[in-house]
Chain A
Amino acid sequence: MKDVILDIERWRTSGCRIAVARVVATEGSSPRGAGAAMVVNDRGEVAGSVSGGCVEGAVVTAATEVLNGQREAGVISFGYSDDDAFSVGLTCGGTIHLFVEELAW
């Protein structure tokens, strides 16, 4: 989250609601390790990254759903080895698990 703290600060100052997605675990080959974070605000602005660009779009969708109340905070997974995985995967063949929640703490 260190990398996106300035974006969070700017968005908080302008009154935005913010969702945070953090990589909490990885399996196999994945470009960003645990702790990599993306933030999305209620105007659709995005900062940070959690992979090499493969799953960012789906993460923005999930984060926006959390802000809209269409999705509970929780772990979402991307990759090939997980039955519950989203349809998008990592081209590198690894799996990443992210925790997505609203920044309301």
Chain B
Amino acid sequence: MIYEALRDALAAQRPVVLATVIEGATIGAKLLIEPGAEVLGTLGNAELDRVVARDALGELAAGITSTRHYGRNGEAREGDLSIFIESFAPPPRMIIFGAVDFTAALGRVAKLLGYHVTVCDARPVFATTARFPMADVVANDWPDRFLTMIADPLTTRDAICVLTHDTKFDVPAITGALATDVGYLGAMGSRRTHASRLERLREVGVTEEQLARLRSPIGLDLGARTPEETAVSICAEIIGLRTGRDGSPLSTVAGPIHDQDGI
């Protein structure tokens, strides 16, 4: 019953958490937690179920999977039970503004990384599913209006890439993006485009603190030229921002290659 509910939630891309007792008296016991739905199963104690369900929703919101320790009645800081809390968050979203050649390449690399990809451009001639078959959504709209119509608010897991390099589009795209909690915001353009764009943004009242969120010119310094190389450079920057790494060659730095998962 729990497996079927998990499978159905995953198939529908609904967020869900599976908690499993991996050490302790009720080893193997499970609780399935879905936001807004009744929990399924039990870990062996109603109070423990309540505490774990609460913690699980917090982990889900942050997209974290980890092992936590509880007393048999859900007490914190006691170690009777180890419980593996596995979050199945829906895929992170990437919204690409501007239906240009770089967009198709970035869309393909983003799909490879597991993103739900939206391509948005106000010009219907350019923003077509025929040009962007990899996109989950192709929207014909102005960037700022499109962003206000997104039902689920963007989170730190999501990314917005502004590839229009036309101030008419990219200023509203960036100001719209700054009004969200999106984790990554990057804008394409030469150093000169970047400088004039900053001026335009300041003119419309964007603060220095807000500008600090903007990655512009977009991407890591790889010397990328083609749309595909540029897409890799952008996605590499997104990964590094998430993990707090700066993108240096591993051969030139010391320290752990992978962050460890909490135990």
- A positions within 8 Å CB-CB of B: 1-2, 5, 8-9, 22-31, 33-35, 72-75, 92, 94, 97, 99, 101, 103, 105
Contacts and interface: CB of A to CB of B under 8 A. Distances in A.
Interface residues of B, number: 30
A77 B260 CA distance: 15
Given A30-B260, A33-B65, A101-B20, 10 more contacts: A22-B86, A23-B261, A24-B67, A25-B67, A26-B261, A34-B67, A34-B261, A35-B65, A74-B27, A105-B28
Given A2-B88, A34-B66, A34-B67, A75 B22 contact: yes
A101 B28 contact: yes
Interface centre among B20, B256, B260 (most CB of A within 10 A): B260
B97 interface: no
A34 B6 CA distance: 18
A72 B10 CA distance: 28
Among A30, A31, A73, A99: residue with most chain B CB under 10 A = A99
Contacts of A23: 261
B10 to A, nearest CB: 6
B2 interface: yes
B115 to A, nearest CB: 15
Contact of B263 (A8, A74, A92, A97): A97
A92 B250 CA distance: 14
Contacts of A25: 66-67, 260-263
B7 interface: yes
Contact of B261 (A2, A33, A92, A105): A33
A57 B10 CA distance: 28
20 contacts: A1-B88, A5-B11, A22-B86, A24-B84, A25-B67, A25-B260, A25-B261, A25-B263, A27-B260, A27-B263, A28-B260, A29-B257, A31-B258, A33-B65, A35-B65, A72-B27, A73-B28, A75-B22, A94-B260, A105-B1
Contacts of A9: 7
Nearest to A96: B261
Contacts of B28: 73, 101, 105
Interface in B67-92: 67, 82, 84, 86-88
A8 B7 CA distance: 10
Contact of A99 (B11, B84, B256, B262): B84
Interface in B1-32: 1-3, 6-7, 10-11, 18, 20, 22-23, 27-28, 30
A30 B66 CA distance: 15
Q: Which of B6, B20, B41 has the most chain A CB atoms closer than 10 A to its own CB?
A: B20
